[in-house]
């Protein structure tokens, strides 16, 4: 087999990846490799992954209904908890209907593949998440990639690319840069060109909007976007994802999405955990307020160090260029007691390898200052 040659090739380019098991629960401070580190690598933005009330909800469903679901939801894997969670998510997102998936990856792949096919065109932002890219590929639609957040380029592409059906897809908060899609402009372009719009709120759910429903909520665009996808795996601290849309879109996707039809349903315990997490996200502003205090503190600190930073989301990239530079900076931060991951191609474009800091409501001001102090002491910059 050729696997070892390929691995050697990845290693030589600084692109090899390794697993490292956590020796503690997910949290602002974790044990890993025998070390205690302040964790800036997790997407658990509100600290709900280890929340006691979320755990209690999961345990109670686990005790009542067991672990496995036995089959896909369309066979015998559906429960009242799944349906209750979908109704809860639809009310949280103020949409007509919601549909659960086992992961955000599955949601994007399944939804795209259900809605467009070989006679259609998908217009996709160049920095969209891999799950949207894979969804485009598996849909077999023609894919037009437009430059990152370039509304004029998208306008021109829409004007010059006729098709049976046209769908624009974008992250709302970009996963490796933390910036926002120009959502108002995208909505108006889609209206004027009669295209549909699908947005991925993975890093906005729980973080943006006064109730935590995402960038669409923050901008009052819930009804203007055809399909909104959110995750249960990041700020909601669990696993799974959902789309929100009209009843007919949800019914169609339920009938067609291969990750739903051909995959076993999410365990009820995870649905119960998500229900408890949505309640905390929607009704407990204090979590989001703490997260945003940390975001503002960190962004001011980065700017004071001469690093570009805007308080737009919980994600802060420090772009360093080559994979080796990012790995070296990550190792140096680790020796200062900080867990900050090096993000390299193909997750980000070649030449933009970076450190990616993720902030959480569970971080103290002291944790945030530790990261800023370490960056200053180590003189990390491009």
Ligand X SMILES: *Cc1c(COP(=O)(O)O)cnc(C)c1O
Q: How far is the CB of 259 from ligand X (least distance, A)?
A: 10
Nearer to ligand X, 60 or 347 (CB): 347
d(CA 261, CA 332): 46
Nearer to ligand X, 241 or 342 (CB): 241
Nearer of residues 69 and 313 to ligand X, judged by Cβ: 313
CB of 270 to ligand X, least distance (A): 11
Residue nearest to ligand X (CB): 104
User: What residues contact residue 335 under an 8 Å CB cut-off, 6+ apart?
Assistant: none
Task: Quote the least distance from Cβ 368 to ligand X, whole Å.
Answer: 22
- Pick the closer one to ligand X by CB: 100 or 372: 100
Closer to ligand X at the Cβ: 167 or 241?
A: 241
User: Could you give the residue numbers annotated as active site?
Assistant: 175, 203, 234
Give me the least distance between CB of 41 and ligand X, in Å please. 13
Q: Cβ of residue 5: shortest distance to ligand X, in angstroms?
A: 30
Give the residues lining the site for ligand X (CB under 6 A). 103-105, 108, 129, 131, 171, 175, 200, 202-203, 231, 233, 241
Tell me the three-class secondary structure of the chain, residue by residue. CCHHHHHHHHHHCCCCCCCCCECCCCCCEEEECCEEEEECCCCCCCCHHHCHHHHHHHHHHHHHHCCCCCCCHHHHHCCHHHHHHHHHHHHHHCCCEEEEECCHHHHHHHHHHHHCCCCCEEEEECCCCHHHHHHHHHHCCEEEEECCCCHHHHHHHHHHCCCCCEEEEEECECCCCCCECCHHHHHHHHHHHCCEEEEECCCCCCCCCCCCCCHHHHHCCHHHCCEEEEECCCCCCCCCEEEEECHHHHHHHHHHCHHHHCCCCCCHHHHHHHHHHHHHHHHCHHHHHHHHHHHHHHHHHHHHCCCCCCCCCCEEEEEEECHHHHHHHHHHHHHCCEECEEECCCCCCCCCEEEEEECCCCCCHHHHHHHHHHHHHHCCCC
Instruction: Give the nearest distance from C-beta 203 to ligand X in angstroms.
Output: 6
| C-beta of 205 vs 325, nearer to ligand X | 205
């Amino acid at each position: 087999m050729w696997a070892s040659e390929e691995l050697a090739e990845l290693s030589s380019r600084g692109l090899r990846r390794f697993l490292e098991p956590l020796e503690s629960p997910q949290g602002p401070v974790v044990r890993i490799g025998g070390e205690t580190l302040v964790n800036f690598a997790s997407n658990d933005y509100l600290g709900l992954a280890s929340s006691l009330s979320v755990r209690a909800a999961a345990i109670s469903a686990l005790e009542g209904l067991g672990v496995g679901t036995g089959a896909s939801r369309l066979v015998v894997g559906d429960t009242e908890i799944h349906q209750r969670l979908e109704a809860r998510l639809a009310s949280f997102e103020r949409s007509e209907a919601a549909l659960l998936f086992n992961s955000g990856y599955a949601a994007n792949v399944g939804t795209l593949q259900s809605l467009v096919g070989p006679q259609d065109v998908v217009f996709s932002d160049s920095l969209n998440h891999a799950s949207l890219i894979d969804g485009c590929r598996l849909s077999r639609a023609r894919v037009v990639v437009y430059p990152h957040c370039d509304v004029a380029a998208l306008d021109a592409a829409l004007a010059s690319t006729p098709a049976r059906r046209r769908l624009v897809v974008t992250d709302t908060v970009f996963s490796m840069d933390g910036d926002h899609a120009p959502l108002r402009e995208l909505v108006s372009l889609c209206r004027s060109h009669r295209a549909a719009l699908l947005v991925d709120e993975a890093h906005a759910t729980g973080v943006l909007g006064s109730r935590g429903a995402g960038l669409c909520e923050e901008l009052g665009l819930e009804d203007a976007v055809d399909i909104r996808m959110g995750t249960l795996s990041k700020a909601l601290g669990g696993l799974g994802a959902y789309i929100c849309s009209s009843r007919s879109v949800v019914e169609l996707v339920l009938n067609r999405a291969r990750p739903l039809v051909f995959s076993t349903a999410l365990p009820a315990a995870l649905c119960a955990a998500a229900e408890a997490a949505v309640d905390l996200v929607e009704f407990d502003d204090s979590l989001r307020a703490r997260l945003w205090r940390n975001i503002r503190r960190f962004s001011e600190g980065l700017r004071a160090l001469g690093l570009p930073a805007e308080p737009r989301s919980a994600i802060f990239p420090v772009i360093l260029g080559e994979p080796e530079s990012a790995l070296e900076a990550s190792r140096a931060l680790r020796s200062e007691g900080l867990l900050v991951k090096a993000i390299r191609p193909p997750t980000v474009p070649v030449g933009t390898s970076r450190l990616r800091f993720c902030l959480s409501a569970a971080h103290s001001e002291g944790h945030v200052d530790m990261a800023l102090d370490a960056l200053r002491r180590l003189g990390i910059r491009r």
